[in-house]
Structure 1
């Protein structure tokens, strides 16, 4: 997706390259992405493209250019040895100057229309911390950095927001180092520190033996939330989600629905494992198994909506008459003609101004009870009562608990 730009060194001793990735809008706030010890390789370029999809103008400077321009290593044993050689020969003070030069180049681009941040991994995390101390940045974010405990005396110079993600099992930043960092930084209002239990160095790098998707996802959400607050961009996620639902349930237009989503989105209806991953399969799902599978009287009754920086959580009632086979909700079940109301929760993640994924939850037992397919007798399940109590909390609680009456007179 990206291109190469040339960056003038601040000390006048040369020019080095930077990988530039632009958002779909063509402009946005600026982000300098800082490499691991493996150079500006395919992994880092993909991360740059990923943050461009989030709405940022991203520049990845070649931090090893003073030793050897264009270092691009893999993760095999030989590459590890070369990477550590570059790491040991790296002049971090000159590296901070080069990051500052990259920031200047980024701010000089017509596409960069907002504030600027830095984000780095491994070596890049330490450099992000030093950039927060020595450069003019609105936000700095570091993943599993090492050696920051040796530069805590510079922390008073941090002007923007700093976020550091640590791996509990990281041998390159052991507990003693983390404790020093926490002691020095944790009480500062402009600093956020997170330690992810049970994970190791490189937990956020896909393909790493230590990759841990849950930790990587929550760390990314925290990172983007900080960037949104510090430099933008700001999107009306509620409006975007409403338009998506309009195309799904009102106009029932598959192409318009897909146009609200990223290039490779996914949808997961958790109880029935229905949906699709990637444009091709999701388009097929929407066209043949979702949009026109919804009953004629389908309605969504909003109960609550929580709007975050990168996602929406919607709580609603999903109401319909089972007048056709609904592939995504009750696949393989012939129409019963029964009316159904169920509480439903949608967790909707965005990248930039497009939907990235939907995780949809509901109580499938309640659906089956209301359709007359599941006999609730003797089972801890309920039918339409679940929807009724969502609207009227004063309705009786605990009716499914045989032991409830026995506690009436207990202290």
Structure 2
């Protein structure tokens, strides 16, 4: 990504304000105004902007506190919290929404911005995102744990674009009665999505924060990007990108080409054996010495099904090979046995923009060990090559590992 600070003219003619601009690697994309937390346009907000730029958006983060004090950039110490609440209490919400509209207008006028533009915000910005849905020409608005939305529900009648709200069940700034009011007022509306994240607190999506909850943050991000892509794009051919990646891994066996299909800092996790790597350096080493050149010559991937989502692909396939060499990533430390192996395998492949971000690969390790003769299945609820055969022929016997099956008729 490339980034810079630009100037935006206030719509009321009172001056100009700064905004951080982050542009995707491709140089163009749909626009996204990122509405800040109460801590200003700090490093956290810039990191989030870069994160969404990597997804393919031209991201603009306006300084909405500029009317009080330009360039507010706070951390999360007790003193910073005290100052942040002071800015929040003195914030002119109506002027803030005007500045969001000015930012949308400025963003659409830039050559990097393609067609549509939306708003995404956190905390204070979450409320601004909701109000943007009500008062601006945003094509889509997404709010994370917005503070005070329940006080503006009468404006919901003005919503025209898609609205997504992420609510934290234990949010001290949005107590149960406020959350209930939001859900009752907005549920069932066309193009409105409401999500409540159980057991998490305010700011659950702020990485490194006290209340950061990675599973909820990941789910919310996927829902956000899904909504953004549905309304604005960008759209990439994930199927072709994944096929090309696999070609480099298993056909041409070229490490540099394999890495070229991935983001700058990707990761791979083969779940049963915890092999792979995090980051370009570690993953390059893994591919070079323990994966690309460590698969048997007859390795074959037989596709069974493929599901293509807004952010990822889920591949179901058969992974077949003869164990003629040590396979570090699947059977580390096990000398070749010469045995034939066929196993069902599931690959969950996440993308950012037009690059692979990560791979989560799942298979039944017990079945592999049975097939190479390293695990005696007698008395254990595991099977060998039969799991692959039954995947292709559902009429083969079921429940053969259940001793009680014959008596339950």
- CA offsets 1:335-377 (integer angstroms, 9 cap, x no match): 0011100000000000010000000000000000000000000
Equivalent position SS for 1:256: helix
Other-structure match for 1:374: 375
Alpha-carbon distance in 1 for matches of 2:6, 2:104: 13
**Is structure 2 residue 352 aligned with structure 1 residue 346?**
no
Superposed CA RMSD in Å reads 0.5
The answer to whether the 8 A contact 1:64-1:86 is kept is yes
Alpha-carbon distance in 2 for matches of 1:176, 1:243: 51
For residues 1-400 of structure 1, the aligned pairs below 5 Å read 1-400=2-401
Alpha-carbon distance in 2 for matches of 1:190, 1:105: 26
The answer to whether the 8 A contact 1:248-1:291 is kept is yes
Compute the displacement of 1:24 (Å).
0.3
Q: Where does structure 1 lack aligned partners over 5 or more consecutive residues? A: none
Compute the displacement of 1:190 (Å).
1.1
Alpha-carbon distance in 1 for matches of 2:27, 2:136: 26
Alpha-carbon distance in 2 for matches of 1:2, 1:157: 34
Alpha-carbon distance in 2 for matches of 1:351, 1:162: 22
Compute the displacement of 1:114 (Å).
2.3
Compute the displacement of 1:289 (Å).
0.2
TM-score by length of 1: 0.99
TM-score by length of 2: 0.99
Which 4+ stretches in 1 moved above 6 angstroms? Answer: none
The answer to whether the 8 A contact 1:346-1:359 is kept is yes
Worse overlay, 175-184 or 358-367: 175-184
Compute the displacement of 1:189 (Å).
1.3
Paired residues in the alignment total 408
Equivalent position SS for 2:401: coil
Compute the displacement of 1:175 (Å).
1.0
The answer to whether the 8 A contact 1:114-1:232 is kept is no
- CA offsets 1:134-177 (integer angstroms, 9 cap, x no match): 00011000001111111111111111100000000001011111
Compute the displacement of 1:259 (Å).
0.4
- CA offsets 1:89-136 (integer angstroms, 9 cap, x no match): 000000001011111110110000121100000000000000110000
Equivalent position SS for 1:292: coil
Alpha-carbon distance in 2 for matches of 1:306, 1:163: 24
Alpha-carbon distance in 1 for matches of 2:115, 2:193: 22
Q: Where does structure 2 lack aligned partners over 5 or more consecutive residues? A: none
